[in-house]
Structure 1
Amino acid sequence: MFRISQYMRELAAAGATGAYPTVRPRPQKGPQGPVVIWNLIRRCNLTCKHCYALSADHDYAGELTREEVFTVMGDLRAYGVPVLILSGGEPLMRPDIFDIAARARDMGFYTGLSTNGTLIDTPLADRIAAMGFDYVGISLDGLRATHDRFRRLEGAFDRSLQALKLLRDRGVKVGMRFTMTAMNAHDLPALLALMREERIDKFYFSHLNYAGRGNIHRGKDAQFQATRAALTLLFERAWEAAQAGLPEEYVTGNNDADGPFLLQWVQANLPQWAPALAERLAAWGGNASGLNVANIDNLGQVHPDTMWWHHTLGNVRERPFSAIWSDTSDPLMAGLKQQPRPVQGRCAQCHYLPLCGGNTRVRAQQLTGDAWAEDPGCYLEDEEIGAVAAPGSAPHGPRQRITIPIREPIHA
């Protein structure tokens, strides 16, 4: 996850004080495990076009029992896992979801809930608020017509938006989750306006990754120019919010070129702070799959992240998560943990490699069969990253250099 607002607030503070803020690392007690996104159930009441889990509205055999989940949670806590994101399918369709959430909360995990929101009515909103989730993310893939088409359910938009309002009014920290493709990119500005109008805390922008139905529909992925325009819009919104002291959060996921692209934006608009930001981005390090983010699916299988369901590292019924995650005998896991990663092509030549970590490896694997090939989803041009095209090959992306559009000068 790339936290745009975090960096924009640091830049705003630098402009106000004349010095880039020093960020001290948090003291750690014991081991520090990864953030775990846990797909507790595969069943879902929707069949979304971009679902990585290929979920449907029926039961799936062999899912972890509540007692097995509790056992795994004990190992996760001992291993230093700080965050559990409870997901699905639709996690609210799991009868014991609140038992699991209560155990997670009582064990000290930061506990999030990832839901489509269509099942949340007033009584369920009351229960979610009483549970004390640290965060609830609800997906909106566009305005009404677009969202309902993505979710394949008429009325889905109204139900999800109502869920956001119900939880917001009960003091729950909520966020919109948006996965951009060529089919919904046009709705992004209106969704951002809706976020501010409805006083929603957070906006999570996800690039389409090639997994599940997202892999099936990868031909609809947004083109690079649209991606750059969308990221520029997010940067401007986050910068505006940071300067105004608004409590809005803008984050992105599934394309770690966003870090270098932000650095370019700062070089163009706040150049005095670019070196300090570059250091912060290098400390961030980019893609966290296999490092600082992990996935457990509904059957207990462990994956480097949620987009790697076709690659299993082990099963928590057979070995503890801590043992699976520490094991580098799997070549993919060894490569993901290697610094720098053994990337090839233009990724190996890229001078931003320390910032993005080689980006999202699953796209390369899905398209070429090689997890270490250059990432086909990187929207930066060869000239921007310092790469040299191989003899006889076409340059990456559009031939013309894309200028980052800025509507008006931005001052610190």
Structure 2
Amino acid sequence: MIPPSRPLNFDQEPFVVIWETTQACDLSCVHCRACAQPVRNALELSTTEGKRLIDEVAALEAPVFVLTGGDPLKRPDIFELVEYASTHGVRISLTPSATPLLTKEAILKLKECGLARLAISLDGPTADIHDAFRRVPGSYEWTLQAVRWAREIGLPVQINTTITRHNLQYMDSIIALLEQIDIVLWSVFFLVPTGRGSVSDLISAEEFEQVFEKLHETSQRVKFDIKSTEAQHYRRFLLQRRTEEKRKNSGHRLPSMLGMSTPDGIGRAPRGINDGKGFVFISHLGEVFPSGFLPVSAGNVRKQGLTDLYRHSPMFVALRDSKNLKGKCGVCEFREVCGGSRARAYALTGDMFAEEASCVWQPRVTERRDLCHS
């Protein structure tokens, strides 16, 4: 596995590879990208096909490989797949659902098979709020119990939180809860209205900035790392803050947007990563998407290699070229480091190159200087 700090050429290799091992899940989350259902699809990638995919991921030397769902634990071969990846030099993160399948024994077995990190969702500070998201009573308590079990055996834990209109007001309480449990990373997802996600659940552009401020403030004092998903303009926010701090010579620590490694050795995404640009998603059926939130297929790994699709698909090539961006994103001085959420643009307009509607920043159109290296 390559060191996470190694510079990557996003035209040749992704930083993050996510495989949706199944869409089967016993939860029914209100914002689920996958519209998951209890029963597995008979056309899912088989164990053999999954291992072939893992071989490609190993050859690409992607620093981050995530097995997601649905609920990966709905696949009886998930332990075999984790062990196969681990023995082939791939560091794996797994995102199981908080259900009775996620037992202490299952977590221990995953660790013994070589799992590097357990990532589990927490969308509210109380059972009432979280379980309303997951639409299954008891999910909140199962989540916290799974975190305790993982930490007891020394397995690093990541918490995923999706910010929507329904839990925005509870951010302070969620942060307070996270400070009480031992995690290495808080991954904050910003809703893309696809699958079960609704446009009415989106927060406003101004509220995005308020959340960015909260994340930045929190990052100054907590022990765990914080990253955002589908909020590429958080990088713009951080760069602006870094510029302000330089002027003030305050010496305050700002979160790095260069490649870095979290305590468990799994790489942290460098700046500039975006849907199809350093990021690739493989569906349970083998379809290759720029992300799980941008459901436009470039092809299928059953017919064409992942490496070939990532490098040469016209859609992926176009997504990596900032000259294709439209509206204010196309003239923004932060376009190389940010680029806006291509998934959200597609969900809202049907055009994956449209401007990021959830960004308040008005580009200095006459100032073509790119600030990503300032």
Q: What is the TM-score of this pair, normalised by structure 1?
A: 0.78
Distance of 2:168 and 2:218 partners within structure 1? 16
Query: Secondary structure of 1:136's partner?
Result: strand
* Counterpart in the other structure of 2:299: 314
The answer on whether the counterparts of 2:346 and 2:354 sit within 8 Å (CA) in structure 1 is: yes
Shift of 1:127: 1.6
Shift of 1:304: 1.0
Give the length in aligned residue pairs.
346
Shift of 1:178: 0.3
Matches for 1:1-400 after TM superposition, within 5 Å: 26=6, 32-118=13-99, 119-143=101-125, 144-214=127-197, 217-241=198-222, 246=223, 248-271=224-247, 284-309=270-295, 311-328=296-313, 330=314, 332-338=315-321, 340-356=322-338, 358-378=339-359, 380-382=360-362, 385-386=363-364
Distance of 1:369 and 1:227 partners within structure 2? 22
The answer on whether the counterparts of 2:82 and 2:110 sit within 8 Å (CA) in structure 1 is: no
Shift of 1:97: 0.1
Q: Structure 2 vs 1, CA of residues 341 and 107 (structure 1 numbering), >3 Å: closer, same or farther?
A: farther
Q: For 2:146, give the aligned amino acid.
A: A
What do the CA deviations read for 1:138-174 (whole angstroms, capped 9, x no partner)?
Answer: 0011121111011001111111111111101211100
Q: Pick which of 360-369 and 72-81 moved more.
A: 72-81
The answer on whether the counterparts of 1:286 and 1:359 sit within 8 Å (CA) in structure 2 is: no
Shift of 1:259: 0.7
The answer on whether the counterparts of 1:281 and 1:355 sit within 8 Å (CA) in structure 2 is: no
Q: For 1:137, give the aligned amino acid.
A: A
Query: Secondary structure of 2:336's partner?
Result: helix
Q: For 2:6, give the aligned amino acid.
A: R
* Structure 2 unpaired stretches of 5+: 260-269, 367-374
The answer on whether the counterparts of 1:287 and 1:360 sit within 8 Å (CA) in structure 2 is: no
Bigger-Rg structure (1/2): 1
What do the CA deviations read for 1:23-82 (whole angstroms, capped 9, x no partner)?
Answer: x95378xx7444210001110011111111111112212111101111222233223334
Q: For 1:254, give the aligned amino acid.
A: E
Instruction: Give the superposed CA RMSD.
Output: 2.5
Shift of 1:336: 0.8
* Structure 1 unpaired stretches of 5+: 1-23, 389-412
The answer on whether the counterparts of 2:294 and 2:342 sit within 8 Å (CA) in structure 1 is: no
Q: For 2:163, give the aligned amino acid.
A: M
Shift of 1:196: 1.2
The answer on whether the counterparts of 1:36 and 1:85 sit within 8 Å (CA) in structure 2 is: yes
Q: Structure 2 vs 1, CA of residues 152 and 83 (structure 1 numbering), >3 Å: closer, same or farther?
A: same
Q: For 1:155, give the aligned amino acid.
A: G
Q: For 1:223, give the aligned amino acid.
A: S
Q: For 2:170, give the aligned amino acid.
A: D
Shift of 1:303: 0.8
The answer on whether the counterparts of 2:232 and 2:274 sit within 8 Å (CA) in structure 1 is: no
